[in-house]
Structure 1
Amino acid sequence: MYFKFTVLFAIVLFCGTATVCCAQGMLNQGNPANGTAPLMLPPGNQLKSQALIGAESMAAGVPPVRPVPAPNPYVVPARRPLAVSEVSYIYLEEQPPREIQVHDIITILVDHKSELTANSRFNRQRNQSFQAELAEFIRLDDDKTLRNSASTSPAIDVSQQGRIQSTGTLKDSEGIRYHIAATVVSVLPNGNLVLEARKSVHTRDDSWEYRLAGTIHSEKVASDLTALSEDIANLRIERSQKGRIYDSTKRGWGTKLLDFFWPF
């Protein structure tokens, strides 16, 4: 019995030693097929099988350490996405907006439309009636006797009826659209810009003059120094015209006089 146990122990020890030697030889030589480099162990250390290492680690209370696989040379590492500026040949970096200062010129697009419609109706009716009668009246005869002066009773009967009815309709529409260059006369602490503009056009017989004033926030001004009139606060627009064309559209003095003295 003792002899059998000794033989069995020798066989197990021989098999374990052969396995360790084969594994050590493979690690030292490497695998040329997959490009694995040989593993060089420090001198004095012996390579143990995974079973022996796991058994010793579990006996010592330390979890076994798994070997780290070698990196794959065919795997491309992840890269960040490319920016537009790195791949585009026409990319231009956006420039920061220029700070607007006093005396800068801003082009204003004036687009103003107004429409007015008014209807009026007036209706008045008046009725009057007046009646009077002299039933008795006396007179003094020559003999100083009072007698009736008339055999009939004189009477007054007056009636009046008046009616006034008028209907009126007013419709007015106007549109102004033009460009005008305004000058920045002041920059307020909150970023608002005070603008003033004046434009005059003169021809042979006619002249036009445009005026504009108001306040606009600097953020409403585009990068090309343009703005819309609808974004201007306290907007004041003046337009005057003189000349032959304007005179042809005016009412004559006779029409004005007739409208002034016309009682109805």
Structure 2
Amino acid sequence: MTAAPLHRPAATGTLRKGLLGLVLALPLTACGTADKLAQVGQQPHLNAIQDPRTTPGYRPVQMPMPEAQSAHYSPNSLWRSGNRAFFEDQRAKQVGDILTVLVTISDKAQFDNATSRRRSDSSSAGAGGALGTAIDIIGLPAGVAASDLASVDSSTNFSGSGSVDREEKLETTIAAVVLQVLPNGNLVIEGRQEVRVNNEVRELVVAGIVRPEDITSENTIVSEKIAEARIGYGGRGQLTDVQQPRYGSQVLDIMLPF
């Protein structure tokens, strides 16, 4: 006789994957800890200025483009095709030009949700007539009749509630560099800013796609007119480390199913 294969519970597989992830993460955690220990008593370093296109993982932006249209030139005209003003246009228009981004974010969200669920079920089974009499004769416990042979009752109750009350506001200015000029004339920009104050580095990153028509005569653009905007504001240093839970707590939060 061949023994039936044993089926391992799904929880066991999940636990094994979690432990494997923990083992793989330990070298990275140790490396990050060693770097932090080497910087004890020192100020957080500032990243070197470099071309964002040389950073690992950078990929040029590709977007759907309209068909190219040939430019028309008027003979004996002082107006040059492609200019947005009669005089020399000082706004950013080619790779390497600098553009000032006015970051203005003011978001507020408030939600209240409540859910309630209740279900009850009752089932019974028995035997009557000749079959019931035969079952009674065979020998049921005292006080139990064949007509009440089986009875199942179930009841479930669930209630849940949640609320979100969030308000965010960010106002700052950052200079960005034009990295690409797309075939339709739109500009791909990216800007980074780092400020170190009292062993804490504050970082601001802005990237996205802008239309030349949205750039003002002062060579500025508001963040709400940036398509595919990626805006990040954070920091690193002693204060940020204290505000973050320890590695062990983060691992347990991921692995524990409770």
TM-score (norm 1): 0.48
Larger Rg: 1
TM-score (norm 2): 0.49
Bigger RCO (CA 8 Å, 6+ sep): 2
